[in-house]
Structure 1
Amino acid sequence: CGAAVAGEVPPVPVAAAVAPPPPLGPHAKGKDFVDFDEDLQVADIVNAVAEGYAELELVKRFSTVGMGPSQGRHSALNTARIVARETGRAAAEVGVTTARPPVYRERVGKLPGRSYEPDRRTAMHHRHLEAGAQMMTAGLWWRPAFYGPRERRESAIAGEALAVRRNLGVIDVSTLGGLEVRGPDAAEFMNRVYTFAYLRQPVGRARYVLMTNDAGTIVDDGVACRLAEDRFYVTTTTTGAERVYRTMLWWNAQWRLEVDVANVSVALAAVNIAGPRARELLARLVEGIDLAAEAFPYMGVRAGNVAGIPARLFRVGFVGELGFEVHVAASHGEALWDAVFDAGRDLDIAPFGVEAQRLLRLEKGHIIIGQDSDAMTTPEEAHMSWALSRRKPFFVGKRSLEVRDRHLSKRKLVGFAIDDPFAPLPRESNLVVIDGRIAGFVTSVARSPALGRVIGLAYTAREASEPGAALPIRLDNGRSLAAEVAALPFYDPDNLRQEM
């Protein structure tokens, strides 16, 4: 069965029929679309060939055919046929363009690449390592988190904070952004780009700076030091230097003021000497500067030599104690650090890191931009309306803030305290839940060794933001922890310590 029968003629193989492609003809009505992604018609492809782009890849780049989301999957063949017709070739000779993701999946192995972000270290980096610092990243910078073994983290941070409160501490603040604003219109420029008033700021004085965007939300903060009538030195947050610099350049391109802005962040090194004995230490090093409170008041700016190094000195108080920031050229940063510790050895000087600094500023109720604020935070929500000069005719964000004043948000940033020293420590981002509804969240929290209780900052409902109001915090385990809204600042509310 199935064997060939003698005399039968074997069948002749017949080639499979191939349907000819539909003709390329213009529509009687409407448009002749080839690529719906890019709104291209037959005439666009014909025009590309007429311009001399006879190869399909060149036609693609001239006309953008196949560059949309479909990556040419619905237009490649018709494009090839049109090019073939116009150049007198077969479509097979013309070919089709390469389709890319998302039409085809990408191999994960093709995605990794080198990181081109710079890895920045301050001039004192090796001194921190020699002192046993545990390093952390802040923006692009490596900074000491605290000094000592990792297993003693909490006690090390508390010890550093108490050293500043009771005696003397030094922190490397070279990572702060530094911008030079110079020119005849420098004061006018500062007056527009920041919310405070700077036209009449005296030479030799510093003022707080707060930057808002067009929507009136907080962008950055720092200090503006007036070095001359036509020159300011402005500090920014560690992570905000590049952003603020670009913002300044963008606005000046619109305003056309006679001012030049230079980013000198990496050209400088700086230390903050803080604590009750800060003046005593600095007196051993300075030349040509009177450090007395009357001659060099809080928020004062002076220039002179520190340990023989040309320096700028600012009296500022981020940590809430008598303090001096000393700024020098980056090439002298390590020499400055060594000189400060050599002079303060008999004063029991101690370095402190970022974690202790954050604890100290929390005790003073100072916010950290990006931690205690988000992309929607306004100065009014963060208790910073004092930093707005309402009498100025203009500053970036003023119009939006005036509108927001008529429509206050439902939340408020408040301080809170937990008096039980053995209470569990909430975590940043733990929710504030009032009557079963989310009213806010924790932004900063720590055990304060100076105050003997847990303190923090959190957003809560505006109607529950007065001191004494309950602030229930939901912990990670789902339990509710009773906290209470507290007046700010927690420490030295009359600012006697930092202004002495």
Structure 2
Amino acid sequence: GFMPAYQLACQGGAVLNYDDETAQFSLQNLPAGMHIAGSVNSMFALDTVETDGQNAARAALRGLGMSVEADEPNVCHQRVNHPWPFVKHPDGREFVDFDEDLQIKDIVNTTRMGYRDIQLVKRFSTVGMGPSQGRHSALPTARLVAATTDRTVTETGVTTARPPLTPEPLGLLAGRRFHPIRRSPLHHRHVALGAHMMPAGVWQRPAFYGGTERRKSLIEAEVSAVRTRVGIIDVSTLGGIELRGPDAAEFMNRVYTFGFIKQPIGKTRYAVLTSEQGVVSDDGVAARLGENHYYVTATTSGVDQVYRDMLKWNAQWRLDLDIANVTSAFSAVNVAGPLSRKVIETAGCSVDLNAHDFPYLACKEAYVAGLPVRMMRVGFVGELGFELHAPSPLIGELWDQLMTAGEAHGIRPFGVEAQRLLRLEKGHLIVGQDTDGMTHPDEVALRWAVAQKKAFFVGNKSVDILSKHPLTRQLVGFELGTSSPQPKEGHLVIHDGNIVGSVTSCEYSPTMNKIIGLAYVHPSDSAVGSTIIIRTDNDIHVRPVVVTTPFYDPNNARQTL
């Protein structure tokens, strides 16, 4: 039936009434200064609408203190609403609200569940919450509620009209632009070295060092420095979480997929985090510094969520440990390359750095250049390397000392772009780039990082269930000749004319002199030597070959120097 445009008036304080005899609504108790005329005032015949408009104008003039003639008598006998009976549809499709796909039975059942108030009927059933905002469903709903609760529509009323009355452009709802930015303690040193900064989550990080017009050659030079001499990169943006207490090992064992109960002191271990749904949600490196002391890194963008999840789980488990987010307390640099050991020795180190005393994946607390550091031998970029984590106020001095010590060895700072290319050559994943909200360990060949005999870790049941289902996609490495168009991240992988995946990482490798990348493909195309189809720009299809990863140094000889 007809509903007057009552919303603005009611938002101003007017009351909507219903006359059960005429089946019509009317607005009463208008706020001072508000005047209505026409159909909203229950006038429908043309002559009564005109008279009503004139009377409203007179009322407005009186409100301004002007003298006008008396109102004309005005009565409208035309009816636009009738209390039509509700007729059952032969197939039971008596729709009340087309927006919300609600039928008569939904409203009746709502009242039978005890929701007699029209406002509660709306909240429970969602009637009137669609795009039309009840313009076609309000009256039928009120009549149904009245009939099933043995009341009149006047007694039940209609739902409250709330702003906005009409759809509003998103531009009107937007607030001020607010982009939080964090800078590492080394930020000004990077700027002084000519770094081109880029966002990495909320952080500003050096993309590369030098002018943008020479971007490609500069990145390749940084890669070459790490592969042939030594490079240094600021990794202070890595998340850092410290766990201390008698149950620290047990907590690590429950949270991460790998086994940590028997992790030796002085060793690091790759740590993968899965959600309760079995999805890879974060990764990092766990260093066991003592029997009851772990220092764990997390991804730049994921550390806050990892920390919140840890607090949530321990609120349930009540294990005896302290969990602290020390991302801001510690900053770090990674010295990487075949000459990295010599650079640190030149700066002065309190522990032996030879391969026997400080092997790959070891960690130690030491002094470098007289400054306290936590040292980890890790190889994200695929070379001999040392991550040095120091208290944030000291990281600037550490950087300066290492740069000075490295001058004789040709040290060069490198940025995120070179780091990502170096890690791609080693086939290392970046969670959030090479994974998505559906990625589980088997899809990205991380089954080796999942303890098979562990009774429990967060997400273990889901991981097991997913492992029993056939894969629908597989992340693989691929390579192309330099004459082919280079695929970009997000370009689609095609199998039998259908989209089956996408490219997650792809770059030209100066080390390999090839285009290399990672992509999700159909499982039947995942075998080494298979040819896959990638649709690139301008609908050009390229056919790279699936290869074994890592692309570079498959035996990890460089990392274990």
Calculate the TM-score normalised by the size of structure 1: 0.82
Write the letter of the residue equivalent to 1:461.
H
Q: Which residue is equivalent to 1:226?
A: 288
- 2:384 equivalent to 1:325: no
Deviates more, 1:399-408 or 1:373-382: 399-408
Cα distance in 1 for residues equivalent to 2:160 and 2:464: 55
CA distance in 1, matches of 2:455, 2:442: 19
| 2:245–2:321 Cα contact (<8 Å) kept | yes
**C-alpha distance in 2, partners of 1:113/1:328?**
39
Counterpart amino acid of 2:73? Answer: V
Give the secondary structure class of the aligned counterpart of 1:287. coil
Quick one: distance in 2 between partners of 1:368 and 1:262?
24
CA pair 182-108 structure 1, distance change in 2 beyond 3 A: same
Question: Which SS does the other structure have where 2:444 is aligned?
Answer: coil
Give the fraction of aligned pairs with identical amino acids, expressed as a percent.
49
Letter in 1 for 2:329: A
Are the equivalent residues in 2 in contact too, given 1:71–1:100 (CA < 8 A)? Answer: no
1:226-265 to 2 correspondence within 5 Å? 226-265=288-327
AA aligned to 2:459 is: G
| Structure 2 counterpart of 1:214 | 276
Give CA deviations for 1:13-51 in whole Å, capped at 9, x if unaligned: 4243699xx9xxxxxxxxx99x99x98645999xxxxxx
1:16 maps to which residue?
Answer: 75
Offset at 1:66? 12
Q: Which residue of 2 aligns with 1:200?
A: 262
Q: CA deviation at 1:360?
A: 0.3
Deviation at residue 401 of structure 1 after TM alignment: 1.8
Q: 2:162 aligns with which of 84, 94, 99?
A: 99
Select which of 266, 269, 272 maps to 2:334: 272
Unaligned runs of 5+ in 1: 1-11, 23-31, 46-64, 79-95
Distance 1:66 1:415 in 2: 51
Task: Name the residue aligned to 2:485.
Answer: 424
Could you tell me which of 365, 375, 387 is aligned with 1:303? 365
Contact 1:72 1:97 (8 Å CA) reproduced: no
Tell whether 2:517 aligns with 1:442.
Answer: no
> What is the rounded CA distance, in whole Å, between the counterparts of 1:118 and 1:350 in structure 2?
30
Retained in 2: the 8 A contact 1:220–1:236? yes
Distance 1:262 1:71, change over 3 A: farther
Amino acid at match of 1:322: L
The alpha carbon displacement at 1:438 in A equals 2.3
Q: Deviations over 1:314-339 (max 9, x none)?
A: 10000000000001111112222111
Match of 1:466 among 527, 531, 542: 527
Out of 433, 436, 457, which is 1:374 matched to?
436
Report what 1:314 is aligned to: 376
Distance 2:378 2:275 in 1: 25
Task: Extract unaligned runs of 5+ from structure 2.
Answer: 1-70, 82-106, 121-125, 143-158
> Alpha carbons of 1:72 and 1:417: their partners in 2 closer, same or farther (altered >3 Å)?
closer
User: Deviation digits for residues 422-479 of structure 1, max 9, x if unmatched?
Assistant: 2221111112223322232211111111111111111111111111111121111112
2-side partners of 1:401 and 1:414: how far apart? 20
Counterpart of 2:345 in structure 1 is 283
Q: Is the 8 A contact 2:119 2:160 kept in 1?
A: no
Distance apart, 1:112 and its partner CA: 2.4
Distance in 2, matches of 1:409 and 1:274, equals 37
Verify: 1:475 aligned to 2:536, yes or no.
yes
Specify the SS of the correspondent of 1:163: helix
The alpha-carbon distance between structure 1 residues 17 and 375, as it changes in their structure 2 partners (threshold 3 A), is: same
Q: Secondary structure at the match of 2:206?
A: strand
Deviation at 1:487, TM superposition (A): 0.6
Map Cα deviations across residues 284-312 of structure 1 (whole Å, 9 max, x no partner).
22332111111111111111222222111
Aligned position for 1:358: 420
When the two chains are superposed, the root-mean-square deviation of aligned CA atoms in Å is 3.3
Tell me the residue number matched to 1:490: 551
Contact 1:72 1:99 in 2 (8 A): no
CA contact (8 A) 1:364 1:492 kept: yes
Helix, strand or coil: the match of 1:257? coil
The one-letter code matched in structure 2 to 1:464 is D
> How far apart in 1 are the matches of 2:494 and 2:127?
52
Select which of 382, 402, 427 maps to 2:464.
402
Count of residues paired in the alignment: 450
Distance 2:214 2:540 in 1: 28
Bigger Cα displacement from structure 2, 490-499 vs 471-480: 471-480
Query: How far 1:104 sits from its partner (Å)?
Result: 2.9
Aligned counterparts of 2:118 and 2:134: Cα–Cα separation in 1: 17
Deviation at 1:408, TM superposition (A): 2.2
Secondary structure of residue in 1 paired with 2:403 = helix
TM-score computed with the length of structure 2 as normaliser: 0.74
**Contact 1:71 / 1:99 at 8 angstroms: preserved in 2?**
no
Distance 1:128 1:144 in 2: 7
Q: Which amino acid aligns with 2:320?
A: E
Which deviates more, 212-221 or 66-75? 66-75
Contact 1:286 1:304 in 2 (8 A): no
Deviation at 1:107, TM superposition (A): 5.7
Q: Does 1:167 align with 2:229?
A: yes
In structure 2, give the amino acid aligned to 1:482: R
Q: Distance in 1 between matches of 2:558 and 2:379?
A: 9
**Secondary structure of 1:146's partner?**
strand
Kindly tell me: are residues 141 and 18 of structure 1, through their superposed partners in 2, closer, same or farther at Cα, counting changes over 3 Å? farther
Aligned partners of 2:350 and 2:368 also within 8 Å: no
Distance 2:118 2:407 in 1: 83
Alignment of 1:72-87 (within 5 A): 74=138
Aligned partners of 2:496 and 2:163: how far apart in 1? 52
Q: Taking structure 1 as reference, are residues 40 and 477 closer, same or farther at Cα in structure 2, changes over 3 Å only?
A: same
1:126: Cα distance to partner?
A: 0.7
Q: Deviations over 1:135-183 (max 9, x none)?
A: 1111110001111111111111111111100001000000000001111
Question: How far 1:224 moved relative to its partner?
Answer: 0.3
Whether the 8 Å contact between 1:287 and 1:306 is mirrored in structure 2 is yes
| Of 484-493 and 342-351, the range deviating more from structure 2 | 342-351
